[in-house]
Amino acid sequence: MAHPDGNRADDKAVSIVIDGRQVNARAGETLLQAAERIGVTIPTLCHDERLAPTGACRMCLVESSDSRRMVPACRHPVVDGLVVQTETERVARHRRGLLSLYAADVDVVPGTELQAHIRRYGLDPGLPAANAPRAGRPDDDNRYVLFQPESCIVCARCTRYCDEIEAVSAITLAHRGSQTTIATVDDVSLLDSTCELCGGCIDTCPTGALVERKSAHRQATFPALKPVRTTCNYCGVGCQFDLQVDAAANEVVRVTSPAPGETTNDGNLCVKGRFAYGFIGHPERLTTPLIRDEAGELVATDWDTALDRAAALLQKTAARHGANSLGFISSSRCTNEENYLVQKLSRAAFGTNNCHQCAAT
Amino acid sequence: MTNSIREIRDADCLFIIGSNTTEAHPVLAMEMKRAALRGAKLIVADPRKIWLSGMADHYLQLKPGTDVALLNGMAHVIIAEGLTDSGFITEHTEGFEAVRAQVRDWTPERASAVCGVPADEIRAAARLYATTHRAGIYYTLGITEHTHGTDNVYGLSNLVLMTGHLGRESSGLNPLRGQNNVQGANDAGASPVFYPGYQRVTDPEAQAHFEAAWGVPLDPDPGLNLNEMMKEIRSGGLRGLFVMGEDILMSEPNVSELEKSMPALEALIVQDIFLTLTAERADVVFPASCFAEKEGTFTNSERRVQRVRKAVEPPGQARADWEILLALTERCGYTGNAGMTPPEIYDEMAGLCDKFAGISYARIEAEGGLQWPCPTSDHPGTTYLHSDGPLRGKAQFIPIDYRRSAELPDPDWPMLLSTGRTLYHYNAATQTRREDGVNDKQQTCFVELHPHDGGTLGVTDQQEVTVQTRRGEIVAAVRLTTRVAPGRIWLPMHFSEARANLLTVDDGDGVTGTAEYKVCAARIVC
């Protein structure tokens, strides 16, 4: 519960040692949070800072002076005087063994957290494929979210995101043991579930088991795409995202969100921001200036002709009826700079204040 | 917004009114959900049972257009029960006595008789809001798209001021901007009454400031607002129109009247990315660029100026809007912009506006977005407003009285129609209806109707009906749902073959001109 002055009840300072370095932390924090603050990266798979920690994947186990067994850093609380070691041979052996089990269980996808961990820590022992397939949803006909069960480690980041952040609980863990999978109620299509297609499940998935269907066939090329950080063009929240660009094809291949905590949207996007980018290169886009010809038809023309015609029409109207017979509608879809230029066109070029942005009514 | 989006998660009470947040601002709604799951209390006031009403501690299903009655009723409870913040009122406000007198007669029972919310729910909501320290109000077009929209906002601001819920984290008055750059377009002076930075065109000092900067004489009189412009086209006062990035034939109210008068325009210049209904009528159409094809900035609801970056080339000969505007302005005889680039344009604007003077592309690159007011280059920006009391002197209480909406149901037109946005489409939907995945969720227009009314009319779910008002009619499929109350219908504004704006009234708010898209009288014909 919040105190009126904004301080929280559990703000007590504690001091611990991580890999030989003194760290000041606050009671209620986890080892993972304390380590991150001093730049010590502990590998995780089921962790997402937006979600309540579960300690399910065992990737973040470290040695801690308060336990004989290794502890999951993502949910182990800091205690004053604790001594923690994150990179011992025992920890490394555990990571190699654990990753071997995951690699035997699933298809490892390039560019994912799982693959990065395998590259960094290696696999030992090498294990044969477990050949214990889990069920997917082959009949799910939604066009955005594709579940590839052969790459799923059942870390449940997706289902917890759906419960705790989007809060629509459209997907859930189902079945038991090696059969455990990500399901909808009665295995219906996401289109027929409570899903709102925010795609947060794709974004949080550490293995590429959840992927955008539109670009899934290009999954292997994702690491080669060029990210361009920009601002969403839909509502006024101003989410930041990365347009993932195939520069040679002049094409936005997919949209990804920045890491949680990095921008105002905290790694979240909605269905429109994440998926509704098909208009960018749409074949119906206007590609040439148009002017109305003598027959009354709109026909293609060049820029000089179009600009001259537009300027002449506006100037003629102003000359005949006065500047206040003109109106300039600017756009809340366009940039600040462009809105500034429209009001300057209205005021400085023509001398009228008849200028308003489109969202005014 | 007086507050920042990140502060929502730490609020202990959220009063959400006239905002279907999960559909119109989905990512901001995630912060609201997060607060609620943490234990924050939610008060949701909306004529329609929106998603968040299912999560609310108090859901107030008011009649459309009766917000003032509800808010005056809440103010009455807060004053009568001694829940005001008298220190804040004395120190930071003026005019409280007028509001006290105004709401004295607005007992919860009287308010209830007008707005339809049970009196005890009005009491409970008022107490919860007033007695929670971190309490924020969030609203959008359900508050403003009324002939008394400005009154609605004053009603909310009275509640904020009498409880002192201002100038702190998570406490304030937060309009959520519907479009990516509503905030920025206003900030940049795309307004008939303001130069950039909210400097009034009627203020001689401001006029002199901009005349000196731009080197031309400027008009000292306010211009026409958008609603007035549309009406002046009909009356012949407006003869030439330049339109950038809006499909007025999809978006403006009572559009059939506008459509009839369009041929009288002697000049119609449209700049857009698709051949919209409006562009089809133009004399000249400029092919423009979408956000992914140009450099610039947008300013979000929390006043944060953020970069827009070019990722791909525009198609064919299409050009960035700013390039087109520079060329057109020059050919219209003004050469003061020639050769400028987006960062230079921003710098020119910021140099003329104290609020943005400290913001530049270099700082946005380095700091990832800056929230105005940001008056100097070493100012960190402002996450929440009014931390030292109101921006300009003392905040003014404004007494308001309930006024009926412009057109309410009668025996011939028995249903009350409201319009709005859905999660899967966006306004005129020139972008989203070209996207298969969202069309799977929502392909065609629909009208929400209460099952009770469905029974009376003999209408079944998914049946196509005609929705008529005095101004026009459209065809839509019925969705029988208890989201709407009996006697009320709701339909989305996204479908060009079933334009909601053929139906809506064009009466506007007296101050802003914003039209009453949320209330008109209608009937359903099978």
A244-286 pLDDT tens trace: 999 999 999 999 999 999 999 999 999 999 999 999 999 999 9
Nearest Cα to Cα of residue A110 among A250, A264, A225: A225
* Contacting residues of B for A254, CB less than 8 Å apart: none
Q: Is the pLDDT of residue A12 over 90?
A: no
* Contacting residues of A for B269, CB less than 8 Å apart: 310, 313-314
Residue contact A361–B515, C-beta within 8 A: yes
Query: Measured between alpha carbons, how far is residue B448 from residues B23, B411, B525 in Å?
Result: 16, 20, 14
* Contacting residues of B for A354, CB less than 8 Å apart: 192, 223-224, 229, 238
When scoring A161, A231, A288 by the number of chain B Cβ atoms within 10 A, the one with the most, hence best to mutate, is A231
Q: H-helix or E-strand containing B451?
A: helix B451-457
Residue B391: per-residue pLDDT: 58
Residue A8: per-residue pLDDT: 46
What HEC string does B217-276 produce?
CCCCCCCCCHHHHHHHHHHCCCCEEEEECCCHHHHCCCHHHHHHHHHHCCEEEEEECCCC
Q: Does B149 touch chain A (CB under 8 A)?
A: no
Residue contact A289–B238, C-beta within 8 A: no
Residue contact A276–B26, C-beta within 8 A: no
The number of C-alpha atoms within 13 Å of A97 and in the hemisphere containing its C-beta is 8
Q: Does B366 touch chain A (CB under 8 A)?
A: no
Q: How far apart are CA A93 and CA B375, in angstroms?
A: 56
Residue contact A337–B297, C-beta within 8 A: yes
Q: Does B515 touch chain A (CB under 8 A)?
A: yes
Residue contact A329–B241, C-beta within 8 A: yes
Q: How far apart are CA B178 and CA B157, in angstroms?
A: 20
What is the average pLDDT across A97-109?
Answer: 97
pLDDT confidence tier of residue A10, bands split at 50, 70 and 90: low
A/B interface, count of CB pairs below 8 Å: 497
Residue contact B181–A272, C-beta within 8 A: no
DSSP assignment of B138-162: EE-HHHHSSTTHHHHHHHHHHHHHH
What is the average pLDDT across A37-48?
Answer: 96
Q: How far apart are CA B368 and CA B344, in angstroms?
A: 19
Please answer whether residues B390 and B375 qualify as being in contact, where contact means their C-beta atoms are separated by less than 8 angstroms: no
Q: Does B107 touch chain A (CB under 8 A)?
A: no
Residue contact B22–A196, C-beta within 8 A: yes
Q: Is the pLDDT of residue A71 over 80?
A: yes
Amino acid at position B56, single letter: A
pLDDT confidence tier of residue A359, bands split at 50, 70 and 90: confident
* B182-371 fold: Rossmann fold (3.40.50)
Residue A195: per-residue pLDDT: 97
Query: Measured between alpha carbons, how far is residue B489 from residues B48, B67, B412, B414 in Å?
Result: 9, 18, 15, 10
Q: Is the pLDDT of residue A9 over 50?
A: no
Q: How far apart are CA B185 and CA A331, in angstroms?
A: 7
Give me A336's structure tokens. 């600040």
Give me B167's structure tokens. 């100038």
The sheet with strand A326-330 has its strands ordered as: A298-300, A290-292, B284-287, B267-272, B240-244, A326-330, A355-357
Residue contact B301–A237, C-beta within 8 A: yes
Closest Cα in chain B, distance from residue A162 (Å): 11
How buried is residue B495: exposed, middle or buried, by Cβ count under 10 Å (0-12/13-18/19+)? buried
Q: Does B327 touch chain A (CB under 8 A)?
A: yes
Estimate to the nearest angstrom the gap between the alpha carbon of B436 and the chain centroid.
28
In percent, how much of chain A has pLDDT > 70? 97
Please answer whether residues A81 and A15 qualify as being in contact, where contact means their C-beta atoms are separated by less than 8 angstroms: yes
Nearest-by-Cβ selection for A250 from B33, B313, B332: B313
Query: Measured between alpha carbons, how far is residue B523 from residues B254, B407, B409 in Å?
Result: 16, 13, 9
Q: Does B89 touch chain A (CB under 8 A)?
A: no
Q: Is the pLDDT of residue A108 over 80?
A: yes
DSSP assignment of B279-318: HHT-SEEEE---GGGS-EEEE-TT-EEEEE---SPPSTT-
Q: How far apart are CA B218 and CA B512, in angstroms?
A: 22
Give me B72's structure tokens. 């005056």
Give me B179's structure tokens. 């479009």
Nearest residue of chain B to residue A226 (CA atoms): B311
* Contacting residues of B for A351, CB less than 8 Å apart: 216-219
Residue contact A317–B436, C-beta within 8 A: no
Please answer whether residues A290 and A301 qualify as being in contact, where contact means their C-beta atoms are separated by less than 8 angstroms: yes
Nearest-by-Cβ selection for B240 from A279, A326, A357: A326
What is the domain partition of chain B in residue ranges? 5-176, 182-371, 415-525
Residue contact B287–A287, C-beta within 8 A: yes
CATH of span B5-176: 3.40.228.10
- Which domains occur in chain A, in start order? 13-87 (3.10.20.740), 225-285 (2.20.25.90), 290-360 (no CATH)
Residue contact B331–A333, C-beta within 8 A: no
Q: How far apart are CA A144 and CA A91, in angstroms?
A: 38
Residue B386: per-residue pLDDT: 87
Q: Is the pLDDT of residue A4 over 90?
A: no
Nearest residue of chain B to residue A228 (CA atoms): B311
Q: Is the pLDDT of residue A36 over 80?
A: yes
Give me B48's structure tokens. 């329609």
Measured torsion, CA atoms of residues A243, A246, A250, A252, in degrees rounded to the nearest 10: -30
Q: How far apart are CA A55 and CA A37, in angstroms?
A: 20
Cis before residue B373, ω within 30 degrees of 0? yes
Residue contact A335–B186, C-beta within 8 A: no
Residue contact A357–B190, C-beta within 8 A: yes
CATH of span B415-525: 2.40.40.20
What HEC string does B171-229 produce?
EEEEECCCCCCHHHHHHCCCCCCEECCCEECCCHHHHHHHHHHHCCCCCCCCCCCHHHH
Residue contact B282–A298, C-beta within 8 A: yes
pLDDT tens track of chain B, all 526 residues?
Answer: 999 999 999 999 999 999 999 999 999 999 999 999 999 999 999 999 999 999 999 999 999 999 999 999 999 999 999 999 999 999 999 999 999 999 999 999 999 999 999 999 999 999 999 999 999 999 999 999 999 999 999 999 999 999 999 999 999 999 999 899 999 999 999 999 999 999 999 999 999 999 999 999 999 999 999 999 999 999 999 999 999 999 999 888 889 999 999 999 999 999 999 999 999 999 999 999 999 999 999 999 999 999 999 999 999 999 999 999 999 999 999 999 999 999 999 999 999 999 999 999 999 999 989 999 999 999 999 999 988 776 567 899 999 999 999 999 999 999 999 999 999 999 888 899 999 999 999 999 999 999 999 999 999 999 999 999 999 999 999 999 999 999 999 999 999 999 999 999 999 998 888 999 999 999 999 9
Q: How far apart are CA B390 and CA A267, in angstroms?
A: 33
Residue A269, sorted as left (phi over 0), alpha (psi -120 to 50) or beta, turns out to be: beta
* Contacting residues of A for B512, CB less than 8 Å apart: 360-361
